Chain A
Amino acid sequence: MEKTVNIYLFGKKYAVPESLTIMKAMEYAGYELVRGCGCRNGFCGACATIYRIHGQQELKTCLACQQQVEEGMYVATLPFFPLVKKVYDIETIKPTQQIMMQLYPEIYACIGCNACTKSCTQGLNVMQYIAYAQRGEYEKCAEESFDCVMCGVCSARCPAGISHPQVAELARRLTGKYLAPKSEHLINRVAEIDSGDCKAALEAIMNTPLEEQKNLYNHREIEK
């Protein structure tokens, strides 16, 4: 039997194998997860969790699916946090500084405590990306926030009530749609397809007998 450690799920003590993640430890203890569990691989942000190690002062944050258990770990999951999501029309808004002022004015109430950055489960520089958003530097905000999984821990720790992940989402969409350079080759290809230029070649392949299709496939040229 593998060595066990004692952890405290919402204050109640359980002995669990030491190799488990917090998520698997909860299941090992008998929890049937509905909330607080999504991709189980660190991409979806469903399992935001706060913990403290016995004898230490610091509150730590993590994704339950990514963090291994430790002796004396007090665990509280945060399966939902009331982030503010403002509604807008991506077709009509413009990537100006004003849009952030209109939709998320609370970002200007940031007191610079850096609690968001310290709590980020992805290790992002959250306060910095909010600073970029304040200045209307959306490409920088998008770049800095790109790995965000929108777990909401930063907002839970924010004294100014900022919904950081939603601010970053807006900045990324503005960047992707308006600020990043257009892809001419993509626009051209869509136009070619729309005008029917690609149809003949495609239908020719489709209507080729199976043996000949196999031959074409096995001898096709592969780009280096």
Chain B
Amino acid sequence: MYQYTEEQLISMKKVEETRASRFGAAIPRMSADQKEEVLASFHPDYISTAYEELKVGKNKGGKVLHELAALLQGRSRVLDLSIDLSSPDYDVDVLVIGGGGAGAAAAIEADNSGANVMIVTKLRLGDANTAMAEGGIQAADKPNDSPAIHYLDALGGGHFKNKPELLYKLVNEAPEAILWLNNLGVMFDKEADGTMVTTHGGGTSRKRMHACRDYSGSEIMRTLRDEVLNRGITVVDFTSAIELIKDTDGKIAGAVLMNMETKEILVARAKTVVIATGGAGRLHYQGFPTSNHYGATADGLVLGYRAGAKLLYPETLQYHPTGAAAPTQIYGALVTEKVRSLGAQLVNKDGIAFVNPLETRDVTASSIIRECKQNGGGITTTDGEGVWLDTPLIEMVNGEGTIEKRIPAMLRMFGKYGIDIRKEPILVYPTLHYQNGGLDISANGMTCVENLYVAGEAVGGIHGTNRLMGNSLLDIIVFGRNAGKEAGEKSKSVQLKALTLQHVEDFEQELKTAGAASGEASPKLLPDYKRKAN
């Protein structure tokens, strides 16, 4: 059971005292200038010492965080192996790397196109950030909403940096994505007449957040997984892709795989490859805790980069405003934005609401950091500090029983430590949540490397430099399906030449010439938590 400190108890009392006066009170939104100011001063993306310049590859001269640079300029795991590429262990049309929502959606659509598909995933099918997405999925399907309004929300939220053709696809195909999921059996929250229950998310101008309670991603992932298995799609689990293979024409032609348990090396030949490896939270950029799953180590970015693909906005990360700050056992775990959608306010140690809870994620996270680092409004915790997220307001706004009905996972997560979020506020602090950037693709899902497709969090550009809540579950479905269809169709016309790993040798040579080799084994595959207390 969680033991509050004396300081926390005194502060919690103040939060209770001000609750009635904050109930229903309008908390002002920031002007464009105010947002700029808090971002520039407090957002982790603006800390220049955390970054370094890449010396080789398509993004040479561009800046990325040190942790990513070490991997992009790291040492390929195939260099010390002798691999026979002439008799592949697997020979398929479409190879999907990654078993999360994007990978599963891609595999289903590639299967629909008639292609022979294989999924390779380093953990289990479904072990992915998808399963952890709590809040919901956006789609403009209500009468007062439209894809154009959705476009403007996501464009402004992304600081007008979104790649237009990708954003167009995202919002235009969103309703169809929801219908597709619903027809696969995903149980969305609905009214008795079938109307979708939709709420706001940070930065939305219409209530278009669809949800499956606060197990939205989990419900989507388990349905997609079930469908992949029903179709008999080959799933090779506990096996990572450690390098992409090309053919002698320089087109993508498969991947070198490694069994995570036995370390056996296997070769998969494929006419097209879809990278759906997800994000990078487990690299713990700038020492932040993360809400990501165990395997989120940017593997796909590394594989794609070495094969000649370009990265777009790799320097921008999303720090979710509300990671759990206490108790220490769940430090960094996601407290869904839906908690704020439902009316919980962010409150400092004196019981004052210091930011509108529905500003975009980057602005909200920066405001929390400012409140703690500059204004002295933070509350000390075991792992650092945090501010209050006043959850009891939810039931004052929406009625008793709302928390159990709409955010049961949150009730359970804190309940395990004796904290009843219906009665007590919780302590939160930003947590590393999402990789806004990633591999650059065209609207057909392909990178500049022929036959290499990307889907999901490994893609850059859809969300500009800041993603809105609910647009990630959306993008894994829209762009996962898109990549699967395109890769499946393309595979029908591909004639593979002899396989080669020459591009890996060449990249290594470039690293040496530039004096940029970090020596770190890459891709990382899993974080190293051995013999550490956190």
Contacts and interface: CB of A to CB of B under 8 A. Distances in A.
Partners in one complex: yes
Interface of A: 2, 17, 19-21, 24, 27-35, 37-44, 46, 66, 68, 85, 87-90, 122-123, 142, 146-147, 149-150, 169, 172-177, 180-187, 189-190, 193, 198-199, 201-202, 204-206, 210, 213-214, 216-218, 220-223
Q: Closest 3 A-B residue pairs measured CB to CB? A: A173-B185, A181-B194, A217-B156
Given A87-B230, A198-B148, A223-B206, A38 B178 contact: no
A9 to B, nearest CB: 14
A85 B226 CA distance: 9
Contacts of B142: 185
B533 A223 contact: no
B218 A149 contact: yes
A107 B296 CA distance: 38
21 contacts: A20-B533, A28-B531, A37-B123, A38-B127, A38-B293, A68-B329, A90-B184, A123-B412, A146-B215, A147-B215, A176-B186, A176-B187, A177-B184, A177-B185, A181-B193, A198-B147, A201-B147, A213-B152, A214-B156, A216-B152, A223-B205
Interface string B465-508: 00000000000000000000000000000000000000000000
Given A181-B190, A223-B144, 4 more contacts: A30-B531, A39-B294, A43-B131, A218-B32
Given A24-B529, A87-B229, A206 B187 contact: no
B330 A43 contact: no
B86 interface: no
Interface residues of B, number: 88
B328 interface: yes
Contacts of B149: 220
A142 B416 contact: no
A17 B205 CA distance: 47
Contact of B529 (A27, A39, A202, A221): A27
Interface of B: 32, 123-124, 126-127, 129, 131-132, 139-144, 146-149, 151-153, 155-156, 160, 164, 168, 171-173, 175-176, 178-179, 182-188, 190, 192-196, 200, 205-207, 212-213, 215, 217-219, 222-223, 226-227, 229-230, 232, 238, 260-261, 291, 293-294, 328-330, 333-334, 382, 408-409, 412-413, 416, 526, 528-534
Contacts, number: 228
A38 B294 contact: yes
A90 B172 contact: no
A43 B132 contact: yes
A177 B183 contact: yes
Contacts of B194: 180-184
Contacts of A21: 329
Contacts of A37: 123, 294
A185 B530 contact: no
A146 B217 CA distance: 12
A122 B139 CA distance: 30
B141 A176 contact: no
A176 B238 CA distance: 30
Nearest to A63: B416
A160 B439 CA distance: 49
A201 B333 CA distance: 39
A90 B185 contact: yes
Given A43-B131, A147-B215, A183 B160 contact: no
A40 B294 contact: yes
Contacts of A27: 529-532
B215 A43 contact: yes
A180 B222 contact: no
Contacts of B188: 176, 180, 183
Nearest to B129: A39
B179 A190 contact: yes
A176 B183 CA distance: 7
